[in-house]
Amino acid sequence: MKNKSVLITGGTGSFGKVMVSHLLKLKNSPRRIVVFSRDELKQFEMQKQFDIKKNENLRFFIGDVRDKERLKRAFEDVDILIHAAALKQVPTAEYNPIEYIKTNIIGAQNIIEETLDSGIEKTIALSTDKASSPINLYGATKLCSDKLFTSANNIKGKRDIKFSVVRYGNVFGSRGSIAPIFSKIKNNQEFPITDFKMTRFNITLKKSIEMVLWVEKNMKGGEIFVPKIPSYRVVDLAKAFNKNAKLKNIGIRPGEKIHEEMISFSDAMNTVDLKNYYAILNDYAKKLKFYKKSKYVNKNFYYNSGNNPDFLKIQELKKLILNELN
């Protein structure tokens, strides 16, 4: 990213803060890093965390992805765009559907249109496991967003522009994930479990940053990239926090899955194996010379946290808790 200008939408979130920290520490740091978000308080706090007097290549830009004119101004002189802004809470989405549609879908289209006009070289949109075979509104809006970004490669004309998507599950220890909830009640005699069979994929913030940087180097356009990562059983996570706690089955919540899914049966016929990652290809990507030589997964392939061959053991989860939550 040497001599590049990088903009991160939703840059004051967990991912954005770690990405900014990583980019600032690079030997060949980008010439300009722009944090774009609508939360002035979080931007103020980030400015104190990353001394802007010392980090002269760091910029902060107040704005909303719903506002095309503001995006147009923010995208001036930007080479690489990482789109992390989204409304994400599943229950809130069910009660306020149009707000999620405005941000996650219309906001995505706004970004695409302004990216095309601004000539940004590469756009990487962050997605979620909930976009695969969605059963809630949040997942449905992110699936629409994924389709918008991958399909944008069809309308770029002769511009040297690429659009790709990164899809992974909840980051371990992130806001709204299960680990911080268990951490707060680790000394309780009883742990609530929504289903004893429940599993989840595991990815750390560090791994998510590494993946996005790998995608930036290797993307061709039109892909949804999925990482090969381990899973864990929720009951094992509870035992890692407190081996003596009683586990109580409280029933699955609305919009929740027993197993996280990242590649569905239907997507298998369009999925290639890239060693450490999978890539779900749209028609644009499948026609590219690079992917014509790639190895496709088995047509019966189905990638979810329950059928994953790689599971973390309780001792490994204990180490993860120490490293990520302390």
Beta strand 246-249 with 162-166: parallel, antiparallel or unpaired?
Answer: unpaired
Going along the chain from its start, the domains and CATH numbers come out as 5-167 (3.40.50.720)
C-beta of residue 262 within 8 angstroms of C-beta of residue 228: no
Q: What is the pLDDT of residues 42-75, one digit of tens each?
A: 999 999 999 888 899 999 999 999 999 999 999 9
DSSP letters of 4-22?
-EEEEETTTSHHHHHHHHH
d(C-alpha 167, C-alpha 128), whole Å: 5
Q: What is the pLDDT of residues 240-251, one digit of tens each?
A: 999 998 999 999
Q: Which helix (H) or strand (E) holds 24?
A: helix 14-25
The phi-psi region of residue 120 (left if phi > 0; otherwise alpha if psi is between -120 and 50; otherwise beta) is: beta
Report CA-CA distances (Å) from 151 to 146, 179, 223, 287, 307: 8, 35, 10, 13, 30
d(C-alpha 119, C-alpha 122), whole Å: 9
Residue 247: closest CA among 319, 188, 321: 188
Catalytic residues: 130
Q: What percentage of the chain exceeds 70 in pLDDT?
A: 100
| pLDDT for residue 262 | 96
Residue with tokens 């707060």: 184
C-beta of residue 150 within 8 angstroms of C-beta of residue 109: no
d(C-alpha 166, C-alpha 277), whole Å: 10
> SS3 for 31?
coil
Residues in contact with 273: Cβ distance below 8 Å, sequence separation at least 6, in sequence order = 294, 295, 296, 297
Residue 176 has pLDDT above 80, yes or no: no
> SS3 for 84?
coil
Q: How far apart are the first and last CA of the chain?
A: 31
d(C-alpha 37, C-alpha 59), whole Å: 11
| pLDDT for residue 100 | 98
Q: What is the pLDDT of residues 179-195, one digit of tens each?
A: 988 999 999 989 999 99
Q: Give the residue, 176 or 160, on which the prediction is more confident.
A: 160
Residues in contact with 181: Cβ distance below 8 Å, sequence separation at least 6, in sequence order = none
For residues 287-310, give the mean pLDDT.
Answer: 93
d(C-alpha 204, C-alpha 170), whole Å: 9
| pLDDT for residue 270 | 96
Q: What is the pLDDT of residues 104-139, one digit of tens each?
A: 999 999 999 999 999 999 999 999 999 999 999 999
> SS3 for 25?
helix
d(C-alpha 128, C-alpha 293), whole Å: 28
Q: What is the pLDDT of residues 1-46, one digit of tens each?
A: 889 999 999 999 999 999 999 999 998 899 999 999 999 999 999 9
Residue 87: CA count within 13 A, CB half-sphere: 25
Tell me the pLDDT band of 254, cut-offs 50, 70 and 90: confident
Q: Which two three-digit tokens encode residue 180?
A: 């911080």
Tell me the pLDDT band of 295, cut-offs 50, 70 and 90: very high
DSSP character for 203? B
